[in-house]
Amino acid sequence: SYELTQPPSVSVSPGQTARITCSGNTLPKQYANWYQQKPDQAPLLVIYKDTERPSGIPERFSGSSSGTTATLTISGVQAEDESDYYCQSSDSTDTFRVFGGGTKLTVL
Amino acid sequence: QVHLQESGPGLVEPSQTLSLTCTVSGGSISSGGYYWNWVRQRPGKGLEWIGYIFETGSTYYNPSLKSRIIMSLDTSKNQFFLRLSSVSAADTAIYFCARDREDTAYNHWGQGTLVTVSS
Flag whether pLDDT at B103 surpasses 90.
no
Query: Using CA atoms, how far apart are residues A15 and A12, in angstroms rounded to an integer?
Result: 8
**How many C-beta atoms lie closer than 10 Å to residue B15's C-beta?**
11
Report angle CA A101, A13, A69 to the nearest 5 degrees.
35
Dump the DSSP string for B89-115: GGG-EEEEEEEE-TTT-S-EE---EEE
Flag whether pLDDT at B38 surpasses 70.
yes
One-letter amino acid at A55 equals S
Flag whether pLDDT at B105 surpasses 80.
yes
Average pLDDT over residues B6-34: 96
SS3 label, residue A72? strand
Dihedral over alpha carbons A23, A24, A27, A32 (to 10 degrees): -60
What is the share, in percent, of chain A residues with pLDDT greater than 90? 94
Interface test with B, best of A92, A97, A98, A99 (most B CBs within 10 A): A97
Pairing status of strand B47-54 against strand B35-41: antiparallel
Is A85 within 8 Å of chain B by CB? no
pLDDT per position as a tens digit, A65-93: 999 999 999 999 999 999 999 999 999 88
Q: State residue A1's pLDDT score.
A: 67
Confidence of residue B7 (pLDDT cuts 50, 70, 90): very high
Nearest to A43 among B62, B103, B109 (CB): B109
Confidence of residue A2 (pLDDT cuts 50, 70, 90): confident
Query: Using CA atoms, how far apart are residues B28 and B65, in angstroms rounded to an integer?
Result: 27
Look at A31 and B106 and tell me if their CB atoms are within 8 Å: no
Query: Using CA atoms, how far apart are residues B96 and B48, in angstroms rounded to an integer?
Result: 10
Flag whether pLDDT at B102 surpasses 90.
no
For residues B95 and B113, is the Cβ–Cβ distance under 8 A?
yes
Q: State residue A108's pLDDT score.
A: 95
Q: Which residue of A has its CA nearest to B114?
A: A40
- Helices and strands, number each (H, E), in chain A: 0, 9
Mean pLDDT in chain A?
96
Q: State residue A57's pLDDT score.
A: 98
pLDDT per position as a tens digit, B47-74: 999 999 999 999 999 999 999 999 999 9
Q: State residue B53's pLDDT score.
A: 97
Confidence of residue A13 (pLDDT cuts 50, 70, 90): very high
Flag whether pLDDT at A45 surpasses 70.
yes
Q: State residue A5's pLDDT score.
A: 98
Between B104 and A59, whose confidence is greater? A59
Q: Which residue of B has its CA nearest to A96?
A: B62
Average pLDDT over residues B11-39: 97
Is B96 within 8 Å of chain A by CB? yes
Average pLDDT over residues A11-28: 97
Instruction: Tally A–B CB contacts below 8 A.
Output: 55
Q: Which residue of A has its CA nearest to B109?
A: A42
